[in-house]
Amino acid sequence: MDRPKSRPMVSRVIPVELFDLVVFGATGDLAKRKILPALLRRFVAGQVPDGSRLIGAARSEHSVAEYRAFAEAALAEHAVGVGSAEQRKAFIETLDYVTVDATGEQGWAELAKKLVPGRIRAFYFSVAPRLFGALAERLHKYGMASGDARIVVEKPFGRDLATAEALNRDLAQHFAERQIYRIDHYLGKETVQNLMVIRFGNMLFEPLWNAQYVDHIQITVAETVGVGGRGDYYDRAGAMRDMVQNHLMQLLCLIAMEPPAKFEPDSVRDEKLKVIRALDPVEPSDIVRGQYLAEGEKPGYCDHVENPNSHTESFIAMKLHISNWRWAGTPFYLRTGKRLKSRTSEIAVVFKETPHSIFGPEAGRHRNILTIRLQPNEGIDLGVTIKEPGPGGMRLVDVPLDMTFSEALGPEAAQSADAYERLIMDVIRGNQTLFMRGDEVEAAWAWTDPIIGGWEARGEAPIAYESGSSGPEEALMLMHRDGRRWREIRT
């Protein structure tokens, strides 16, 4: 029989209404690397209606022409090959710029005049979190916080429960919850959304998706980079605040939540919140923290952050339990770190062994594993047990049923919209499904705080690990002692 041909991906551009988008922090790193390239791609795709305006705002003085030159240079570096020369020129010509001081009065009246009344307006807060409250207050003071205005708030959203609550309160003074879009760019990733479709769009998996059939679940987000130029921020955050409290927690919620009644913002977010609230406190013995060592010319963590006595972790592995009917007794193992063997993100659902082997003890032990790969090679594979071909009795072997999306859906799938593109357009459409609600963020901090507080109270130092490894040996032991093992971080 012929193999089914790969199906070309249908690219759909859902029209949005005319909008004014103001990016605060328009001269910053995130604007250069992510926001401007995302807007260019949507412009080239034809999703930015004619007449929509993209207004950059930052503290430094620039003329509009200077800002356009800045944006052009940023796109030359971070959006190579996107659109034709004419399209790029037309995009650059939509850009405007205002010098605005978040904490002063400069530029606000001018900015207010630029916005078209009655049009969708969104304000992207791509500035340091300490300025979020001031921006919200000034938007209100200068009459820009209209009932349908939206604000997009970058991470980190607080550094503990108290700061997150204070930030929620500051924003709530001027904006309703339905106007606040807290970004976790993981939620904008294609495969992360696919997680929900795999679970709730197929009959195959959901009946088995519980403690009766699932032995355990592993979530790995491994990076090869070190802390880079973000040493100052990172040393005050660490892997727990930078990755676990937000990105890994969101993946955990999507993999563990009950089916929402609808794919609608509050239905989905209610279910995610229930997962976070059902998390048990974590025993210190179920957590391993690590810090990477130098490798050749590359500095180790402490040199990188210029803090020889740093106790901040660049790696964390932990075992969690969710106390509810679906998951009681099934552990979730989470692992993330910097300077690891390869850049890999995946979720592995490891099913239990069959209750009885009719093939006898010599057939060995086998388990089905459903692996959802977020990167690289986005896709899923399901490990199934089959008979090893050939004579000589029943020898069993595990083989993957592999579906790499770019192979199944055509090469375009590999270049599907970047997370920021999707999320910015969701803001314009007014769809909050892929954004975190205030109570979700607070619940995640309420679970995280005692863990971090415990390390600080005990003065616990992380364990050193080799750069380019899979993390400290102790992280392997965390699973070995339960008779399980981590999946290889693939190179």
Rounded to the nearest angstrom, the gap between the alpha carbon of residue 491 and the centroid of all alpha carbons in its chain is: 22
For ligand NAP, the closer of residues 36 and 348 by Cβ is: 36
**Residue among 58 and 347 whose Cβ is closer to ligand NAP:** 58
Are the C-beta atoms of 33 and 78 separated by less than 8 Å?
yes
In the set 11, 103, 212, 415, which binds ligand NAP (CB under 6 A)?
Answer: 103
Tell me how far, at minimum, the Cβ of 178 lies from ligand NAP, in Å. Answer: 22
- Residues with Cβ < 8 Å from 457, sequence gap 6 or more? none
Q: Is 258 exposed, middle or buried (0-12, 13-18, 19+ CB in 10 A)?
A: middle
Q: How far is the CB of 355 from ligand NAP (least distance, A)?
A: 46
Outline where DSSP puts E strands in 30-119: 53-58, 95-99
Between vectors from CA 437 to CA 267 and to CA 250, what angle results, nearest 5°?
80
Task: By CB under 6 A, tell whether 133 contacts ligand NAP.
Answer: no
Could you tell me the strand order of the sheet in which 379-387 lies? 396-404, 379-387, 369-375, 344-351, 214-222, 332-337, 315-320, 287-292, 463-465
In whole angstroms, the minimum distance from the beta carbon of 96 to ligand NAP comes to 15
Q: Is 290 in the site for ligand NAP (CB under 6 A)?
A: no
CB of 230 to ligand NAP, least distance (A): 8
What does 420-455 look like in DSSP terms, one character per residue?
HHHHHHHHHHT--TTSB-HHHHHHHHHHHHHHHHHH
Q: Is 217 left (phi over 0), alpha (psi -120 to 50) or beta?
A: beta
Contact with ligand NAP (CB under 6 A) among 22, 27, 184, 237: 27
E strands in 227-376: 287-292, 315-320, 332-337, 344-351, 369-375
Half-sphere exposure of 228 (CA within 13 A, CB side): 6
Task: Decide if residue 25 touches ligand NAP (CB under 6 A).
Answer: yes
By CB under 6 A, residue 100 contacts ligand NAP: yes
Site membership for ligand NAP, residue 155 (CB under 6 A): yes
The answer to whether 126 contacts ligand NAP (rule: CB under 6 A) is yes
Stretch that binds ligand NAP, among 68-76, 149-157, 258-266, 451-459 (CB under 6 A): 149-157
**C-beta of 142 vs 209, nearer to ligand NAP:** 142
What is the Cα–Cα distance from 443 to 161, expressed in whole angstroms? 8
Please give the size of the binding site for ligand NAP, defined by CB under 6 A: 23
Least distance in angstroms from the C-beta of 138 to ligand NAP: 9
Tell the smallest beta-carbon distance from residue 57 to ligand NAP (Å): 7
Per CB under 6 A, does 370 bind ligand NAP? Answer: no
Q: For ligand NAP, which residue of 102, 151, 248, 380 counts as binding (CB under 6 A)?
A: 102
Residue 429, token pair as written in the block: 């459409």
**Distance (Å) of CA 268 to CA 97, 263, 273, 435:** 37, 6, 9, 10
In the bound state with ligand NAP, the residue whose beta carbon lies nearer, of 27 and 194, is 27
127 lies in the binding site for ligand NAP (CB under 6 A): yes
Cβ atoms 396, 385 nearer than 8 A: yes
The footprint of ligand NAP on residues 46-75 (CB under 6 A) is 58-60
CB nearer to ligand NAP: give 241 or 272. 241
Residue closer to ligand NAP (CB basis): 155 or 339: 155
Task: Check binding of 129 to ligand NAP (CB under 6 A).
Answer: yes
**Contact pattern for ligand NAP over residues 308 through 337, marking x by CB under 6 A:** ------------------------------
Binding mask 255-284 for ligand NAP (x = CB under 6 A): ------------------------------
Question: Cβ 125 to ligand NAP, closest distance in Å?
Answer: 7
> Other C-beta atoms within 10 Å of 15: how many?
8
Residues 6 or more apart from 295 whose CB is under 8 A from it?
339, 466, 467, 468
Q: Which residue is nearest to ligand NAP (CB)?
A: 28
Decide: is 243 part of the binding site for ligand NAP (CB under 6 A): no
Q: Which stretch of DSSP H or E encloses residue 383?
A: strand 379-387
List, as one string, the DSSP characters of 226-263: --GGGHHHHHHHHHIIIIIIIIIHHHHHHHHSPPPSSS
DSSP codes of every residue in 451-476: HHHHHHHHTPPPEEE-TTBSS-HHHH
Element (H, E) at 35: none
How far is C-alpha 22 from the geometric centre of its chain's CA atoms? 23
Least Cβ distance, residue 209 to ligand NAP (angstroms): 31
410 scored as a contact of ligand NAP (CB under 6 A):
no
Q: Which is nearer to ligand NAP, 48 or 58 (CB)?
A: 58
Just list the catalytic residues.
247
Residue choice 18, 30, 195, 294 for contact with ligand NAP (CB under 6 A): 30
Nearest 5°: phi and psi at 120? -55, 130
Choices 22-30, 36-44, 294-302, 422-430 (CB under 6 A): range interacting with ligand NAP: 22-30
Place of tokens 């863990």: 451
Residue 223 Cβ, how far from ligand NAP at the closest point, in Å?
13
Q: How far is the CB of 290 from ligand NAP (least distance, A)?
A: 22
How many CA atoms are closer than 13 Å to the CA of 260, on its beta-carbon side? 20
Q: What is the binding site for ligand NAP (CB under 6 A)?
A: 24-31, 58-60, 100-103, 126-129, 131, 154-156
